[in-house]
Amino acid sequence: MPITKILEQNAEKFGDDVSLVEINPPLNHKGKITWKDYSLIETGTGQKIRREITWEDFNRQANRFANLLLSRGIKKGDKVAILLMNCLEWLPIYFGILKIGALAVPMNYRYTADEIQYCLNLSDSDILVFGPEFTGRVEEICNNIPKVKHLFYVGSDCPTFAESYEQLVTYCTSKNPGIELTDEDDAAIYFSSGTTGFPKAILHTHKSLMHSCKVEQNHHKQTKDDVFLCIPPLYHTGAKMHWFGSLLVGGKSVLLKGVKPEWILKAVSEENCTIVWLLVPWAQDIMDAIDRKEIHLEDYKLDQWRLMHIGAQPVPPSSVKRWKTFFPNHDYDTNYGLSESIGPGCVHLGIENPHKVGAIGKAGYGWEVKIVDENRNTVNRGEVGELAVKGNGVMKCYYHDEKSTSEVLADGWLFTGDMAQEDEDGFIYLVDRKKDVIISGGENIYPVQIEDFLRRHTVIKDVAVIGLPDKRLGEITAAIIEIKEGMSSTEEEMNQFCMALPRYKRPRKIIFADIPRNPTGKIEKPKLRKIYCVENLVAQETGAIK
């Protein structure tokens, strides 16, 4: 069944119930006024602080946009790109595209003008829907995207080179467009995170989207009464596919536009949120704010919050244990996935397995997994190899890229590029990205293992371990360390702490600096390599490093 049918069923069964809430916290808000009290007040940027729509509103808006697209000649198989910050219009626009059999093409809001142009051309997009944050970037490229027939603008003060979305959909019928869809129809193109260069276009079918709904609801047991707080960007499969669990049961979801700890807790408290998906840095920020007594948990209504889960990156076990000291009654879960596997859940820890924190888990609902060697033969339990997954959520292909597709897909298996090992109980642990493994003097070194060790130090907020070029050893291990606010450390102190590691795993270089992460929480190691590899080579050439 195409995923659009779920929205239509929700509109019929739960029409008057709230489906989505958007919250734009005012930057200067310090008082105890609720977001609902603020619902008719605008921020300094002209945004309403709180907006909401019902399931009937949601479906009606999706139908109107679908009919707008049909009126502009968009048909089944055409592509419509979405370049928006999280907002109340985002998901109705997405479903309006799907309803006519067109392909939704969500785009990263951090893309430069060149990257936007590249992705629009790669995906053969016919229409671009964009928001005010992107006006300058879109104007810069609007003459270099020849296939894009129309530019629709969501927001006030529509630029002259685009058309106003609000004005256009007002005059469109809210009747269901009635386009026949099948599970095998193409549904969406997502882009890889870009941490290894220009992104690839990942093609998924309606079957993939529907599979992710079932996986998420099976893992986290959402009911109609659950309320999901969604903070990560909707362009990414992670946020949207976790939301799909709420879609499946007709539950309310809250789009919070901001990651300050007090905003997260206030949203949980006032919107009665029961499930929150956090990235590691946000969870750490909440705990640090509690430690600094900037946040007092007794000021918030949090008893209904039943589940906190994390994904998108390896999760330090020490962070989870620390979280449980503040929130002992929370269920905790880790989900592993890729955009190529329609986001989270192909490997899943399970809320019933807190004793295995540190593992990413076992095969998720409806998934198979295996760990293979360089020849793609299954390795023995305990050995390190590449993780492969198989299920209805595997992408169809990399769009317009047969070579890259053939490198990662074979016999229905997706070879993830992540190195992993299985313990005696069948739980899988991530070791590292295949491309991130450091080879020093012929020894394989897995950065995640060193990062997990360093995060145990009380002053470390974040850490990234990379390989730096070395004339003698090929590579040496460097640890870039971000220190918690108000604390300090020295290279000598860190080297002494690392004496507990085997000699070959100890970082040869300690660097104190901020850790860059992309919007989905992944450390941007290519940026770090670009900075520090050059510095290291210069230092070797000048004799600063022997």
- The pLDDT tens digits of the residues spanning 516-539 come to 887 666 788 878 888 887 555 445
Q: Which CATH architecture has domain 4-292?
A: 3-Layer(aba) Sandwich (3.40)
Where are the domain boundaries for CATH 3.40.50.12780 in the chain? 4-292
The residue that leads in pLDDT, 218 or 42, is: 218
Q: According to CATH, where is 3.30.300.30 located in the chain?
A: 437-541
Confidence of residue 282 (pLDDT cuts 50, 70, 90): confident
Segment 419-433 shows an average pLDDT of 88
Where does residue 56 rank: exposed (0-12), middle (13-18), buried (19+ CB within 10 A)? middle
Start-to-end CA distance of the chain, whole Å, equals 63
Taking the C-alpha atoms of residue 289 and residue 309, their distance in angstroms, rounded to an integer, is 19
Q: Which pLDDT tens digit goes with each residue over 50-70?
A: 999 999 999 999 999 999 999
Ramachandran area for residue 18 (φ above 0: left; ψ -120 to 50: alpha; else beta)? beta
Q: Which helix (H) or strand (E) holds 105?
A: strand 103-106
Distance, in Å, from the CA atom of 532 to the CA atom of 478, rounded to the nearest integer, reads 9
Give Cα separations from 319 to 28, 57, 85, 326 (angstroms).
30, 40, 29, 11
Please report which confidence band the pLDDT of residue 319 belongs to, taking 50, 70 and 90 as the band edges.
confident
Residue tagged 């390896």 (tokens): 314
Q: How far is CA 135 from CA 116, 128, 157, 525, in A?
A: 12, 12, 10, 29
What class, spelled out in words, does domain 437-541 have in CATH?
A: alpha beta
Tokens of 501: 């590691």
Residue among 269, 108, 275, 130 nearest 192 (CA): 108
Identity of residue 56: E
* pLDDT of amino acid 133: 95
What are the pLDDT digits (tens) for 145-173?
999 999 999 999 999 999 999 999 999 99
pLDDT in tens, 14-60: 999 999 999 998 865 554 556 566 554 554 455 688 999 999 999 99
Secondary structure (DSSP) of 40-80: T-B-TTS-BSEEEEEHHHHHHHHHHHHHHHHHTT--TT-EE
- SS3 at position 470: strand
Percent of the chain with pLDDT over 90: 68
What is the rounded distance in angstroms from the CA atom of residue 391 to the CA atom of residue 412?
8
Mean pLDDT throughout 324-333? Answer: 93
**pLDDT tens string 186-205:** 999 999 865 445 789 999 99
Is the separation of the CB atoms in 480 and 525 below 8 Å?
no
Tell me how far apart the alpha carbons of residues 74 and 129 are, in angstroms, rounded to a whole number: 14
**Strand, coil or helix: 392:** coil
